[in-house]
Copies of this chain bind each other. A is one copy, B any other.
Amino acid sequence: MSFPPRYRTARSRSRGEANGAESRARAVRAAIELFAASGFQGTSIAQVAERAGLSQSGLLHHFPSKAALLAAVLEERDARDGEFLTSADGGRPLGWAAFDALAALTARNSTRPHLVGLFVRLTAEATAPDHPAHDWALDHYAGVHAWLVDAVRAGRERGEMHPGTPPETLARSTIAVMDGLQQQWLLEPERVSMVTEFSGHVAMLRARWGTAERAVVSPGSST
């Protein structure tokens, strides 16, 4: 049992000691930024250490290997945007509300290039079965896909969506649009607006699968 918040004292600081948890957190933040910019394979732990203000071995004290550092990074990432897809009360948005939640997530993402870069690069690398983030990628997609499929089923039952709406296909392609837009936006941030394009996509889905209960945009209208 240790007393939770240990702050640095003048004495400990002069001896080069720091709060371990603090150093660890700095390292994770540094790793997110560097993995985001150059990928996991394209980043060395020495670079991460330098940005975190640690020596390479100092860093490896907190994470036994580079893969362990990656695991910590992924955990942090999921924590940061998993909260976004569940409301404060733990309930999940259903029907069109789920698509609106994704649009909101896209809007937030467009202010966080770090996290987007991390995601785009990592999912591409992690396609390889032997990549340390491979299982994470599988879990991630399984989770989002199931979440969205459930939301569409609920939307159908509530009468927000046509009975013929295909949940799997809708989920799959919507996730694909998000990922593809992130990729294009990273490449040319000034030319591509993730928010506009994704909102357009959702509007189109509403026009195709929405029922009269909710706004159906007719061809030729703006927005």
Interface set of A (CB-CB < 8 Å, partner B): 37-39, 41-42, 117, 120-121, 123-128, 137-138, 141, 162-166, 169, 172-173, 175-181, 183-184, 186-188, 192, 196-197, 200-201, 204-205, 207-209, 219-221
| Number of copies of this kind of chain in the complex | 2
User: Chain A interface secondary structure, helix, strand, loop or mixed?
Assistant: helix
Query: Are the CB atoms of B197 and A173 closer together than 8 Å?
Result: yes
Contacts of A178 in B (CB 8 A): 176, 180
The residue of chain B having its C-beta at the shortest distance from the C-beta of A125 within the complex is B39
Report which of B169, B179, B196, B207 forms a contact with A180, defined as CB distance below 8 A: B179
A196 nearest in chain B by CB position: B169
Residues of B within 8 Å of A128, CB to CB, are: 37-38, 42
A39-B39, A141-B188, A175-B184 known; 12 new pairs, CB 8 Å cut-off, are A39-B124, A39-B125, A120-B124, A124-B124, A127-B186, A138-B187, A172-B192, A173-B180, A173-B201, A176-B184, A178-B180, A208-B219
Q: How far is the CA of A176 from the CA of B194 in the complex (A)?
A: 10
- Cβ–Cβ contact B187 & A127, under 8 A: yes
- Closest chain-B Cβ to A174's Cβ sits at a distance in Å of 9
Nearest-neighbour CB distance to chain B for A155, whole angstroms, equals 13
With A121-B124, A138-B188 already in contact, the answer to whether A173 and B177 are too (CB < 8 A) is yes
Residues on B with C-beta less than 8 A from A209 are 219
CA distance A127 to B199 in the complex (A): 23
